[in-house]
Amino acid sequence: MILTGGLPLGLFTGVGTFTLDHQGGMTHLRVKEEVRGPLRGLLWKATPDTRQDLIDYVNAVKKRAEILG
């Protein structure tokens, strides 16, 4: 799944990529966040840190997957 957002004219673009990989009988959720554009530095500093939100999301997915087993 790929989520994108940003400003017109490519001034700022954020892309979040969520990938499921099946390896050794297990499924791995990989999350990648990229930001691009000439306003990247300015807007990146002005927005809240989302790392903890992503960690919480991945942990919730893991917990749900374990429940559904």
Q: What is the pLDDT of residue 18?
A: 94
Each residue's pLDDT, cut to its tens digit, for the chain (69 residues) gives 999 999 999 999 999 999 999 889 888 999 999 999 999 998 878 888 888 998 999 999 999 988 987
38: DSSP letter: T
25's tokens: 């009988």
Q: What is the pLDDT of residue 69?
A: 76
Q: What is the pLDDT of residue 1?
A: 94
Residues 67, 1: Cα–Cα separation, whole Å: 22
Is the entire prediction scored with pTM above 0.95?
no
